[in-house]
Amino acid sequence: MIKDIVQERYENRYATLRKIGAKFGVTRQYVYKILKQTETPTLRLKKEKFTICQICDHRIEDSLAKVHLGKCHGEYYFHLVHCNSCYKKWHMKRAVVFFKARRGDRHIYCSRECYIKDRFYN
């Protein structure tokens, strides 16, 4: 059983002592004692903390951000839209575009004048 516990530590470096002990039906203290006696590393490896950018698919180290700052940030958080009446183009915040879609708005207008012109005079 001692060889099995030591082998499990080398095969599964991310497992906690509690998980190794549960697998063999022993306590984590017993696992720790065996690993110390056999001069096996007792500390588990920590998993790397990173995320993948939603735009360019590159790693973002030590961050919970969805995208890189700069170009990726602009592409993700600002969508290019056009006015349904005058076809003027501009960038609108992503949240506003999704809110309008969820609310059921089928058209986007650049101003109140374009909205009135398109809705009531066409």
pLDDT tens, position by position, 92-118: 999 999 999 999 998 999 999 999 999
Domain boundaries, the chain: 2-37, 75-120
Does the reported pTM lie above 0.75? no
CA 63/CA 66 separation, integer angstroms: 9
pLDDT tens, position by position, 8-35: 999 989 899 999 999 999 999 999 999 9
CB-CB contact of 50 with 63 (8 Å): yes
